[in-house]
Amino acid sequence: MRNLQKLAAGALDEVLAGAALHQVLPRRLQQLQTPGERGALQDIVYGSLRQLGRLDAWLDALLERPLTDPELGWLLRVALYQLAYTRAPAHAVVHNAVSAAGEGWRRGLANAVLRNFQRRRAELDKLADEQPTARWSHPDWWIAKLQSEHPAHWQAILEASLLHPPFTLRINCRHGDVAAYLRRLNDAGLPAHQTGPDAVTLDRAVPVHSLPGFDEGHVSVQDAGAQWAARLLDAQAGERVLDACAAPGGKTGHLLERSEVELVALDVDAARLARVQENLDRLQLKATLVAGDAAQPDAWWDGRPFDRILADVPCSASGVVRRNPDIKWLRRPEDIAQFAAQQAVMLETLWRLLAPGGTLLYATCSIFHEENAGQVQAFLARHAGDAERCPLPEPLSDGVLLPAAEHDGFYYALLRKT
């Protein structure tokens, strides 16, 4: 456990200095020998980031003066997370943290802080609940933005964003339906329930290769909210379809599972396109993969219009922070305007590639207005003569799917070229 605590503390230090979690964590996971150790480290790092506002408040209250040793600070936050949110034996957490702290005053301070936390837990929880950043474990500006833009739902959004994300599968309709796959899961001793037209959520996460039919392409891991994209675009057999910003390929696979289309999967990152190909190979499906920038089609487009376009544009990812908890601490308010400007350019550019009568699905994993309804309203105002918005079914009548226990947060707008 000592090694896990130090590895986790180092990862938090790097992330809060500005590095992306998806780049930091793999290097540390490679240093561990067993799946159990790797799973524990991932839980500690992700969980500590989800609850970082609360951990900060606890630590501040437990210290008589500000800590000038950042390394020790991250170690203590990790240990506090373990004491509060994991089943690790408390005596082992404290012992290993004290040992990892080093010698002299560092060792004494670690012991005092963690023992004091155990004694004062109820008092510390009350103190944290009085501070919005600690209560909700999000930056103050983020909380204020949600209060302004989602006044009736901001607390539910924040509560959902602190949950462990669900382990949801997409059933490949070419190999059966949800009911049949639920029976397969039951036979395998894996309790699950339906959470969408093609979605089942397991009671607990398991290694993907232990899932019935996973290696044969019968199922894929995909959030239930993300599964709306292919269904809303509703590409028909024989149509020419562009999946812009396709990597890692979840929506690409879903589009092809649903219909025999001529699909171009585009992504600016050639390395990430390799993951798209891996997913397609497992699903035994085919698409044309193109490395290129959706905002600069002259470098890759052959001039043939598309009947359908999925514009899953870069965004703040404010709807998926429980899966990417580093985002809420690394984002800044000014980032939202930068994403919105990038989205506007991509939307205009991709619209030129759409055939008359064709449809474009604008999609984000954001819940911020500038990136969603504000973006679409501005686009429709600019294109009053050649664009109309199509109605969406419930629960997406306004395009917004707010984060909830069984799905992440997304935004969808279906636009038809007239």
Mean pLDDT for the stretch of residues 247-265 = 97
Whole-structure pTM value: 0.95
Q: What is the mean pLDDT of residues 266-293?
A: 96
At 6 the pLDDT is: 95
* Model pLDDT, residue 67: 93
pLDDT value, residue 397: 85
What pLDDT score was predicted for residue 394? 86
CA–CA separation, 3 and 138 (whole Å): 28
**Long-range Cβ pairs for the range 323-329 (8 Å, 24+):** 323/165, 323/223, 323/408, 324/21, 324/22, 325/21, 325/46, 325/49, 325/50, 325/52, 326/15, 326/20, 326/21, 326/49, 328/138, 328/139, 328/142, 328/161, 329/15, 329/16, 329/49, 329/52, 329/139
pLDDT level of residue 2 (50, 70, 90 thresholds):
low
Q: 173, 315, 365, 390: which one is catalytic?
A: 365
Q: How confident is the model at residue 281 (pLDDT cuts 50, 70, 90)?
A: very high
Average pLDDT over residues 139-163: 98
Query: 318 vs 395, which has greater pLDDT?
Result: 318
Residue 365: active-site member: yes
Longest dimension (CA), the chain: 74
CB 145 within 8 A of CB 368: yes
Q: Any alpha helices (H) in 130-177, and if so which ranges?
A: 132-136, 140-149, 154-161
List the strands of the sheet with 167-171, edge to edge: 192-196, 199-202, 167-171, 219-221
3 state SS of 395: coil
Mean pLDDT of 137-141: 98
- For 300-336, letters b (16+ CB in 10 Å) and e give ebeeebbbbbbbbbbbbbbbbbbbbbbbbbbbeeeeb
Distance CA 161, CA 409 (A): 9
| pLDDT confidence bin for 54, thresholds 50/70/90 | very high
Measure the CA–CA gap between 325 and 411, rounded to whole angstroms. 19
pLDDT (average), residues 218-236 = 98
Q: How far is CA 316 from the centre of its chain?
A: 11
Tens of pLDDT along 370-392? Answer: 999 999 999 999 999 999 999 99
Torsion of CA 11, 14, 20, 26, to 10 degrees: -40
Question: Residue 409's pLDDT band (boundaries 50, 70, 90)?
Answer: very high
* Length, in residues, of the chain: 418
The string of pLDDT tens digits covering residues 191-216 is 999 999 999 999 999 999 999 999 99
How is residue 161 written in tokens? 């964003």
Q: Which residues contact 59 (CB under 8 A, 6 or more apart)?
A: 67, 73, 76, 77, 80, 113
Q: At residue 216, what are phi and psi to the nearest 5 degrees?
A: -90, 0
DSSP labels for 168-193?
EEEE-GGG--HHHHHHHHHHTT--EE
Q: Quick one: pLDDT at residue 55?
A: 98
pLDDT band at 343 (very low <50, low <70, confident <90, very high): very high
Q: Picking from 46-50, 63-67, 258-262, 409-413, which range would have the lowest pLDDT averaged per residue?
A: 63-67
Q: What is the pLDDT of residues 312-340, one digit of tens each?
A: 999 999 999 999 999 999 999 999 999 99
Residues 6+ apart with CB under 8 A from 69: 106
The mean pLDDT of the chain is: 96
Burial of 231 (0-12, 13-18, 19+ CB in 10 A): middle
**Please, which residues have CB within 8 angstroms of residue 211's CB and are 6 or more apart in sequence?**
169, 185, 190, 219
* Whole-angstrom distance, CA of residue 265 vs CA of residue 81: 41
Reply yes or no on whether the pLDDT at 3 is more than 90: no
Residue 325 tokens, joined: 């908890």
CA–CA separation, 366 and 315 (whole Å): 6
Residue with tokens 């001793």: 189
Q: What percent of the chain has pLDDT over 70?
A: 100
Could you tell me what percent of the chain has a pLDDT over 90? Answer: 97
pLDDT at 1 over 60: no
In the block, tokens 């190999």 appear at 175
Confidence of residue 395 (pLDDT cuts 50, 70, 90): confident
